[in-house]
Amino acid sequence: MPEIVRRLNPPTMESPPGYTHVVEVRGPARIVYFAGQLGVDKTGKLAGASGDFKAQTVQAFENLKAALEAVGAGFEHLVKINTYLVDIERNIAVFRDVRDRYLAKATLPASTAVGVPALARPGALFEIEAVAVLATA
């Protein structure tokens, strides 16, 4: 079966750390959209102590992992992620560290990170939403 997802970083653009500039989907595929995942556990409690950005970010990635597994996918199937960080200047390095533990260099999705003053849930510091592409069965 031919590859349905092609990732490229044009040589005329800056080489990005931790994401891909262009992700192209060719041919028939299953496209799965994932709602924004916060750093909350199964009971709805925010991870870590109050204000623990790293714990919330790890939990949000674990939640995304569970959602991916629910449709037979993994992080390698992601083609796009959008992340929202409260206090981005202070938290961007921690986010990148956590992200890099979950995403493989060979299959980095296109990515956008946005600094926000707050998220919809009080106390939430990080949110990630995603799109994955899988071959049709």
Residue 78 lies in a domain: yes
- Assigned domain for 6 exists: no
Task: Classify residue 54: in a domain, yes or no.
Answer: yes
What's the rounded mean pLDDT across residues 16-29?
91
Supply the CATH number for residue 47's domain: 3.30.1330.40
Q: Does some domain include residue 5? A: no
pLDDT digits (tens, 9 = 90+) for 56-65: 999 999 999 9
**What's the pLDDT score for residue 3?**
83
Residue 70, in any domain of the structure: yes
pLDDT per residue as tens digits for the range 33-85: 999 999 999 999 999 988 999 999 999 999 999 999 999 999 999 999 999 99
Residue 87 region by backbone torsions, left for phi larger than 0, else alpha for psi between -120 and 50, else beta: left
* Residue 13 located in a structural domain: no
For residue 79, give both structure tokens. Answer: 């083609």
Q: Residue 15 domain-assigned?
A: no
In a domain, 89, yes or no: yes
Average pLDDT, the chain: 94
Report d(CA 111, CA 23) in Å as an integer: 10
How many structural domains comprise the chain? 1
Tokens of 69: 């597994």
Q: Which domain holds residue 129?
A: 25-135
Strands 110-116 and 78-86: parallel
| Distance separating alpha carbons of residues 48 and 41, to the nearest angstrom | 10
